[in-house]
Amino acid sequence: MAEQYSSTLPNAFSRVISDLADLLQKEMRLARAELSEKLSLSMRAGLWIAAAAVFAMVAMLLVVQACVFGLSAATGIALHWSSLIVAAGLAVVAAAAFAKGKAGVPDQIAPDRTITQVKQDFAAAKEQLS
């Protein structure tokens, strides 16, 4: 009876290892297929977002053009002067947006807290090994 268990134990262990390897391969194929599907959907969404950005830019240019024509019609100023006035207004808005964006940029991009934590981890590991 002991011989029967000893001969089936390696077989069972071998089957378990084989099944585990097969399961891992199937999981990897599933993950690859899922990642491929999500990447495809993300790329399609990105294309739609890019198309929306192009149409938004065209719409903004038409709004600026309408501002130029409206200023010219309301004040009687020539179109070229209206264009310069609207351009100056947009330049002021652009400068303010740039200043706001530049003020929000951190001095350093390096992850200071993470670097400090890793240094502390290394010091603690070094202390335990000593």
- Per-residue confidence of the chain (130 residues) as pLDDT tens digits? 445 555 687 788 788 888 888 888 999 998 888 989 999 999 999 999 999 999 999 999 999 999 999 999 999 999 999 999 999 999 999 999 999 999 888 777 777 788 888 888 878 877 877 6
Phi and psi of 108, rounded to 5°? Answer: -125, 145
Cα gap 54→62, rounded to integer Å? 13
Contact 66, 79 (CB under 8 A): no
* pLDDT computed for residue 3 by the predictor: 52
Cα gap 70→125, rounded to integer Å? 71
* pLDDT computed for residue 128 by the predictor: 76
Question: Three-state SS across the chain?
Answer: CHHHHHHHHHHHHHHHHHHHHHHHHHHHHHHHHHHHHHHHHHHHHHHHHHHHHHHHHHHHHHHHHHHHHHHHHHHCCCHHHHHHHHHHHHHHHHHHHHHHHHHCCCCCCCCHHHHHHHHHHHHHHHHHHC
The residue written with tokens 């719409």 in the block is 59
* pLDDT computed for residue 52 by the predictor: 97
